[in-house]
Amino acid sequence: MLYYLQNYNFKVGVESKGAELQHFVKLDEGLEFIWQADPEIWASHAPNLFPIVGELPEGTYTYEDEIFALKRHGFARHKEFKLVEQEDDKLVFELEDDEETQQVYPFKFRLLIAYKLENNKLSVTYQVLNRDKKGMYFSIGGHPGFNVPFYAGEQYEDYFIEFEKEETLHRYLLTDTGLQSGDTEKVLEHDRLLPLKHSYFEKDALVFKNLNSEKLSLGSRTNQRRIEMTFEGFPYLGIWAKPGPSPYVCIEPWCGIAGRDGESGELEKKEGINLLSPMHVFERTFTMEVL
């Protein structure tokens, strides 16, 4: 079911399946910023990634000597969330463990995803509660896709990502199966501006670790419109579009990352995994602001 937030100039739509953002519309222009899930290209809008981010070696991991199968980016994006709070400017969705999740992820959890619309800014807050009596291992992240270009008549190559601070960026390359290969490739040196190129995505996502910046903007050389994203507390960032070329880009703040080719598969040793103590809460927020 689709739920909406609206103010004087923006309308937001969130689907209960996956608690997935589907619309972020500037009303006076009728301008939709979120990718509209063309099934011929990429059939998602902005999935939420939990309890892993990325791919696992052979699609499995081990925990307490037992092997579990878990598909890329986890199961939350495919699960029906319950709407537990609805206000004029806020929607909160809840997912709890059940028999199905226990088959692939042996932890008791409560995941809340909150959307809050304030003027021209939309915030997305993840809150993970460990309901178990043991430590809980997990990753979580966002995957919002933005229409590029914003306006008809523009070109994809007119667009760029501008980082808050000067960066020297090495992308962590992925294998054909979506795992970290161990190799890197420099894509930016002592600069803030990363031009968008379809050719980047022929090698899958641009994956970055430990940026100097906690803020960036998606903009164009041909118009003044920008989307500014903040992602404080997210140590990894993915930038992706399906090779094609495709008229969108995903900007993905992650607390977690794909597995490494050849690693042991032990969940406790996985790079980017978070350990949450019993009855403790983990919280992160990223924002999207239209400027």
**Could you report the per-residue pLDDT of 105-160, keeping only the tens digit for each?**
999 999 999 999 999 999 999 999 999 999 999 999 999 999 999 999 999 999 99
| Location of structure tokens 């090495």 | 170
Residues 6 or more apart from 14 whose CB is under 8 A from it?
A: 2, 3, 4, 5, 20, 21, 22, 91, 93, 115
pLDDT for 68 equals: 97
- Does residue 219 have a pLDDT over 90? yes
Does the CA dihedral 131-46-201-165 come out positive or negative? negative
- Does residue 86 have a pLDDT over 90? yes
Q: How far is the CA of 270 from the CAs of 40, 54, 58, 257, 264, in angstroms? A: 33, 12, 14, 9, 8
Q: Report residue 121 as tokens.
A: 């800014």
- Does residue 264 have a pLDDT over 90? no
- Alpha carbon distance 142, 215 (integer Å): 15
Burial of 151-164, coded b for 16+ CB within 10 Å and e otherwise, reads eeeeebebbbbbbb
- Residue 118: CB atoms within 10 Å: 13
pLDDT for 47 equals: 98
- Alpha carbon distance 215, 84 (integer Å): 30
Per-residue pLDDT, averaged over 153-170, amounts to 96
pTM of model > 0.95: yes
For residue 238, the one-letter residue type is G
pLDDT for 249 equals: 98
